[in-house]
Structure 1
Amino acid sequence: MRAQRTLSAGPDARTTAARIVSVDALRGFSLLGILVVNIAFLASGYRMAGMAEPAFGSPFDWAVRWFVTMFVENKFYLLFSFLFGYSFTLQLDSAARQGRAFRPMFLRRLAGLLLIGLAHAVLLFPGDILTTYAAVGLVLLFLHRIRPRTAVLLAVALTAVLALGFVLAAVLATLGLDLSGTMTDGAAEAARSDAALGGGFWEIVSEHLRKLSLIIVLRALFQGPAVLAACLLGLAAGKSGVLRDLSAHTRTLRRLQWTGFTAGLAGASFAALSAWTGVVHKFWGEAVDLATAPLLAAAYAATFLRLLPRMPRIGRALAAPGRMALSNYLAQSLICALIFTGYGLALVDRVSPPMELLIAAGVFAAQVLYSRSWLSGHRYGPVEWLLRYLTYGTRPAHGVRASPGTRSAPR
């Protein structure tokens, strides 16, 4: 949700405008990372089954897999989740300023997000995260009075419990229990998925529904709590005002960089090396990655926010897709479905990992251009407009702004 704020021409206005652009740009940056990860799962039944595509085994293919696993996977959805929690605090403030009852409005918003997420999961990508946000939003609503320090401690505790869960899984696998994954039966599962995804509409939808029934437990046990932990950190940042004046928190950002890159890259290296070397090693890698990925994600965010004032053009370019992130997230799945499934070209498992990266870069570049064009004539992205309509029950205005002096604050 984007509540209108009128900006004056003074220093405070420039600070507020810079903060708005920085948050939107960080959201756009996160969206790029999410696409780089998701495209591999959209392009291959083997990747969705937790395996490398057997048709692509060159050193270059493996270098790309390791790069994505080490530097991108499990980092950028945490950034996006952090911003979801941060935006929650802005919505609270906006409702208080406007005298609106926040709870019913936010519940309608979550219901709309759930419906959009379910449609996305069934039609395009069973790895949808919007339904997770809808569930996590209920928890945030329950905990909205939590203090920033308590929110951080709860996030740390959730992360520690998740990591210990994978440690337990690794120990059980070492003892001989078959914990090879709820989703997969190996190559046969991947081949079955490929055949379905390359088929017609009902075959694709049936395959998505089948996968949803298999991954829902994993989502509830692992990704859901990880998303909640990141959202709690975003909530703490919003309540404490960290992103309102970045210059006042330079020391904190530097600490996040040093700690995040040191511990985060070490953990990411271990996770990347463990990801493709058997079930036991994979579980150990997941445990380490769960504990250290938030640190690396924080280092990415701190570095990005510190560099942003020096690269205003890049910031403005990324802010455009960030302002309509929901529309772009869904569009990424639609474009990839048209490329890789029977909805379009049916190139499932026919595209190498390096080519997937190139496609992702091309898709995101197109989204930057499209978002800038769309927002030059519209106040909201198309799906943001729909979600706002579901939230408030009234048709939002289509125009860019009500007057030349207004600017939309990120929600």
Structure 2
Amino acid sequence: MNVTRIGRPADGNPQPAPGDTVVRITVVDALRGSALLLILLVNIAFFSSGYDFHLVDDPTHGTVDRLVAGAVELLFAMKAYLLFAFLFGYSFTLQLDSAARRGVAFRPAFLRRLSGLFVLGVLHAVLLFHGDILTTYALLGLALLAARQMAPRTALVVAAGIIGGIAVVVGIAAVLGATLVPDEATAVSAGARSTLALGGGPGDVVLEHLRSMPAMIGGLAVQGPLAFAAFLVGLAAGRHRFLASVPAHADLLRRIERVGYPIGLAGAVVFAVGGGTANLTGLMVSIVTAPFLAAAYAATLLRLFTRRPRVADVFAPAGRMALTNYLTQSLVCVLVFSGVGWGLVGRTSPAQTLVIALVVFAVQVAASSWWLRRFRYGPVEWALRAWTNRDRRRD
């Protein structure tokens, strides 16, 4: 399969080269690279401390630490993965079109791709990060495959229905007095045990990941449907080739910002001040409002990338190697924080943890650019492509 870098005229619209079967749209890759950064800013907290997984604050953190952690929760928690899921749905439409142009059966290859993602996700969850999303994407991909003929308007209506339905269920649970942290003292004690386990050797880290699995799977009762809703929004946008002609949608993007930021930030404040994911009322508000803020982020980034193509060029290589970079982020965090490597778990403040995240991503941006000047695919992308297409060529 011939995948080449596309050209870009002065207006920012991507132009496919003759003979391309899959066209790299720079803004799509740049947006995906940006989403990788936001995901890392959220996920790294689960590597640096065992308390976040149990939905309680580290008791050693002071006021400033809690403000920094709260700012990350306010701005990025429950928003970053929605942006990434939207791009999964959008890219799905590009894959469909590519298969149609080449006259090949899409379903068998896509099912192989999903099986490859699932295996990678299981290994990732057990060895590196119990908050893996790849297994969820692989399973939800089956539903997306079934919905591939859905009309754009229907996809948006179904997505809104899913979001509303989950919010109602969580709201009812809140009214009935349900809580995700029934005993804070017990949760703090569990957080201390998790932090100690993550600071151990490889066996301790893997056992901690396995112990965490039931709770993580339970969390997918909310995250999974919301991710699928974002898939459907991406499917609808892909049907209209929205990201292939971003300047043509400038007015719509500005409207998304004008609506998305006030609603999204207001909901984010309620979510963060109310205790984040641990508080069902705040969670219900975030379920409804987080998609608005994620959409506003996407609109702002897309406008930035079309006005400043060089900024897009910086982020795009990381997005082209998104799978490699996602897994590498976890590997690096394990080496930095767990006892497998430097053992910094429980020893860095939230601010220091964020600095580490930014450094990791900056290195990934540079490494991705270097790699793609020499190879067409990232290493994990190549392996998944070889499995999907039954083609081991390295071109």
Report the TM-score, using the length of structure 1 for normalisation. Answer: 0.90
- Root mean square deviation, CA, Å: 2.3
Are the counterparts in 2 of residues 49 and 184 from structure 1 also a CA contact under 8 Å?
Answer: no
Please say if 1:92 is aligned against 2:96.
yes
Task: Give the Cα separation in 1 of the matches to 2:366 and 2:258.
Answer: 34
Indicate how the Cα distance of structure 1 residues 182 and 302 shifts in structure 2: closer, same or farther if over 3 A, else same.
Answer: farther
Please say if 1:337 is aligned against 2:334.
yes
1:215 Cα shift? Answer: 1.9
Q: Which range moved further: 292-301 or 13-22? A: 13-22
1:275-319, CA deviations, whole angstroms, 9 ceiling, x for partnerless residues? 26x95xx11111001101000000011111112133222211100
Residue aligning to 1:350: 347
Relative contact order: is structure 1 or structure 2 higher (C-alpha 8 Å, sep ≥ 6)? Answer: 1
Counterpart amino acid of residue 16 in structure 1: Q
Are the counterparts in 2 of residues 257 and 302 from structure 1 also a CA contact under 8 Å?
Answer: yes
Are the counterparts in 1 of residues 12 and 307 from structure 2 also a CA contact under 8 Å?
Answer: no
1:95-135, CA deviations, whole angstroms, 9 ceiling, x for partnerless residues? 00111110000000000000001000000000000001001
Task: Give the Cα separation in 2 of the matches to 1:106 and 1:112.
Answer: 10
1:247 Cα shift? Answer: 2.1
Residue aligning to 1:186: 187
Residue aligning to 1:404: none
For structure 1, which runs of at least 5 residues remain unmatched after alignment? Answer: 399-411
Residue aligning to 2:394: 397
Indicate how the Cα distance of structure 1 residues 331 and 95 shifts in structure 2: closer, same or farther if over 3 A, else same.
Answer: same
Please say if 1:293 is aligned against 2:319.
no
Counterpart amino acid of residue 392 in structure 2: R
Aligned residues: 389
Are the counterparts in 2 of residues 169 and 179 from structure 1 also a CA contact under 8 Å?
Answer: no
Residue aligning to 1:15: 14
Residue aligning to 1:236: 236
Are the counterparts in 1 of residues 44 and 353 from structure 2 also a CA contact under 8 Å?
Answer: yes
Residue aligning to 2:54: 49
After TM superposition, the structure 1 = structure 2 runs for residues 101-250 of structure 1, keeping only pairs within 5 Å, are 101-173=105-177, 177=178, 179-180=180-181, 185-219=186-220, 221-250=221-250
1:182 Cα shift? Answer: 12
SS at match of 1:100: coil
Task: Give the Cα separation in 1 of the matches to 2:251 and 2:186.
Answer: 49
Residue aligning to 2:274: 274
Are the counterparts in 1 of residues 140 and 228 from structure 2 also a CA contact under 8 Å?
Answer: yes
Task: Give the Cα separation in 2 of the matches to 1:194 and 1:136.
Answer: 31
Residue aligning to 1:382: 379
Are the counterparts in 2 of residues 148 and 239 from structure 1 also a CA contact under 8 Å?
Answer: yes
Counterpart amino acid of residue 44 in structure 2: I
Task: Give the Cα separation in 2 of the matches to 1:238 and 1:267.
Answer: 28
Task: Give the Cα separation in 2 of the matches to 1:134 and 1:33.
Answer: 21
Residue aligning to 2:79: 75
Counterpart amino acid of residue 313 in structure 2: R
Task: Give the Cα separation in 1 of the matches to 2:40 and 2:68.
Answer: 15
- Which of residues 319, 322, 326 in structure 1 aligns to 2:323? 326
Indicate how the Cα distance of structure 1 residues 199 and 237 shifts in structure 2: closer, same or farther if over 3 A, else same.
Answer: same
Indicate how the Cα distance of structure 1 residues 249 and 286 shifts in structure 2: closer, same or farther if over 3 A, else same.
Answer: same
**Identity among equivalent pairs (%):** 49
Are the counterparts in 2 of residues 19 and 244 from structure 1 also a CA contact under 8 Å?
Answer: no
Are the counterparts in 2 of residues 7 and 13 from structure 1 also a CA contact under 8 Å?
Answer: no
Task: Give the Cα separation in 2 of the matches to 1:310 and 1:364.
Answer: 23
Task: Give the Cα separation in 2 of the matches to 1:178 and 1:156.
Answer: 25
Task: Give the Cα separation in 2 of the matches to 1:314 and 1:240.
Answer: 25
Q: Which range moved further: 237-246 or 362-371? A: 237-246
Counterpart amino acid of residue 26 in structure 1: L
**Which stretches of structure 1, 4 residues or longer, exceed 4 Å deviation after superposition?**
5-14, 181-185
1:143 Cα shift? Answer: 0.6
Task: Give the Cα separation in 2 of the matches to 1:119 and 1:52.
Answer: 29
Counterpart amino acid of residue 242 in structure 1: F
Are the counterparts in 2 of residues 24 and 323 from structure 1 also a CA contact under 8 Å?
Answer: yes
For structure 2, which runs of at least 5 residues remain unmatched after alignment? Answer: 17-22
Task: Give the Cα separation in 1 of the matches to 2:287 and 2:127.
Answer: 29
Q: Which range moved further: 184-193 or 232-241? A: 184-193
1:254 Cα shift? Answer: 1.3
Are the counterparts in 1 of residues 173 and 280 from structure 2 also a CA contact under 8 Å?
Answer: yes
SS at match of 1:45: coil
Are the counterparts in 1 of residues 4 and 24 from structure 2 also a CA contact under 8 Å?
Answer: no
Are the counterparts in 2 of residues 388 and 396 from structure 1 also a CA contact under 8 Å?
Answer: no
